Structure 1
């Protein structure tokens, strides 16, 4: 029974909510409709389509009620759609199976009867109360003082109103679908624009990083150059003092050997040149001295408070700043040298130049660091 109920749900038309009736047409989107229901939807979607003798003279279009896929028809209209014979056969088999398993239901009366006068058919329409009724209710019943009209004319009027309402709703649904498509396209455009602008911002910051790296390299080279100069001078001076010390040690050793000479004449003969060497070695006036503070490198100090403040103020420029940006472009060469950069998409200018001030220093080179020692 559950399988039969599930099968019955698959055989329900989405328009009339009843089981498909022959012939069943298959739409290009593979959904099925009763031909009559498809024709009603088609006429509601194309109320102004010209007809001649009850047949279409040109094609039209409507949307599938299941998936909103647009169905384009030729001049044959709904009758040009292919019938789904497989679904029709399944419906026939389902009905036969349902008939064999269920008791035969009582046949319903085709024409509804009046609730008050059970033997009277409902054949008129009370315009005053807006309900269908029978002739006896008009003559003797509750609607004797009401305005009535033939039910057939009211039926045609209401059917036309309903058809117009369906056509209006279908057109309104199409407009809403168009708006939804536009909104979805706007979302895609916003996402693409956002990705592009973020890429531009990253490019500008990469340029800023490269300028800072180049400036750091340049400043380090300056410090390294003076460092090597001072180290070479000190190392050379160390070698000179070392040579002098080695020579003095040799003289001392020679003096000790001379002191052990027992012969006075030989001793006196060797002492004279030795005393002269001792006098010369005792003087270091020919050697340079390093002044106090020569090894100091504090004059290469930096202060990035202004640059840090400028970097923190980086932001997107506004439309009011376009004229200022044009003026800044004219001085781009100078600003680039000073480290001023503008972020893509409109960023504020931030000066990031680093110019270390070199305070007055003494003995910053070997020539000025040397002084003659007093004897």
Structure 2
């Protein structure tokens, strides 16, 4: 009887190791490729890859685009102070007036409120960390990207497990 119990115990332990390995693999799929943390407010890029909204905004600002207006973080189990990503407190989106004026002059060639007649501004390009392509975001930048609500709900469930 002891040998049968040992085999059952070994089988259960093997199954638990496989489940743990699968969970680790799944957890990696829920990480943002920019910050390598659990994705927060994921947006769907035109290339169909997802990144954190805040990370996308930071990448665009680093590339010289003006800081976008970001919606507030939603209230959900995944966004409680205990589970909220620590990077949100560390890395606010820079919004200095001098920086904005400099960006508008270099990107648009004019100040806000004035119109350029001869050319339209260049398209806003985002370097996708997954497919390594510069994807065009559209006229409204990140506002044209859809939230990946399915991924967001999976992360909420995974964080609550």
Q: Scaled by the length of structure 1, what TM-score is found?
A: 0.23
Instruction: Say whether residues 1:41 and 2:59 are aligned partners.
Output: yes
The equivalent of 1:76 in structure 2 is 140
How far apart are 1:86 and its partner, in Å?
0.8
Instruction: Say whether residues 1:16 and 2:35 are aligned partners.
Output: yes
The equivalent of 2:48 in structure 1 is 30
Q: Assess if the C-alpha contact under 8 Å between 1:45 and 1:61 holds in 2.
A: no
Q: Assess if the C-alpha contact under 8 Å between 2:124 and 2:136 holds in 1.
A: yes
Q: 1:73/1:52 Cα in 2 relative to 1: closer, same or farther (>3 Å)? A: farther
1:322-345 deviation digits (Å, cap 9, x = unpaired): xxxxxxxxxxxxxxxxxxxxxxxx
User: How many correspondences in the alignment?
Assistant: 93
Distance across 1 between alignment mates of 2:61 and 2:30: 24
How far apart are 1:8 and its partner, in Å?
0.9
The alignment partner of 1:28 has SS state of coil
Instruction: Say whether residues 1:62 and 2:126 are aligned partners.
Output: yes
1:301-332 deviation digits (Å, cap 9, x = unpaired): xxxxxxxxxxxxxxxxxxxxxxxxxxxxxxxx
The alignment partner of 1:89 has SS state of helix
Give the RMSD, CA atoms, in angstroms. Answer: 2.4
Distance across 1 between alignment mates of 2:143 and 2:56: 10
Distance across 2 between alignment mates of 1:77 and 1:46: 13
Distance across 2 between alignment mates of 1:62 and 1:85: 21
The alignment partner of 1:3 has SS state of helix
The equivalent of 1:128 in structure 2 is none
How far apart are 1:81 and its partner, in Å?
0.5
How far apart are 1:75 and its partner, in Å?
2.8
Give structure 2 stretches of 5+ with no counterpart.
1-19, 66-102, 114-119
How far apart are 1:52 and its partner, in Å?
4.9
The alignment partner of 1:12 has SS state of coil
How far apart are 1:43 and its partner, in Å?
2.1
Q: 1:91/1:29 Cα in 2 relative to 1: closer, same or farther (>3 Å)? A: same
More helix by share: 1
Distance across 2 between alignment mates of 1:78 and 1:4: 31
Distance across 1 between alignment mates of 2:63 and 2:134: 11
Higher relative contact order (CA 8 A, sep 6+): 2
Give structure 1 stretches of 5+ with no counterpart.
98-375
Q: 1:91/1:71 Cα in 2 relative to 1: closer, same or farther (>3 Å)? A: same
1:145-187 deviation digits (Å, cap 9, x = unpaired): xxxxxxxxxxxxxxxxxxxxxxxxxxxxxxxxxxxxxxxxxxx
1:232-282 deviation digits (Å, cap 9, x = unpaired): xxxxxxxxxxxxxxxxxxxxxxxxxxxxxxxxxxxxxxxxxxxxxxxxxxx
1:63-117 deviation digits (Å, cap 9, x = unpaired): 21222122112231112111111100100110111xxxxxxxxxxxxxxxxxxxx
The equivalent of 1:6 in structure 2 is 25
Which aligned runs of 4 or more in structure 1 are off by greater than 6 angstroms? none
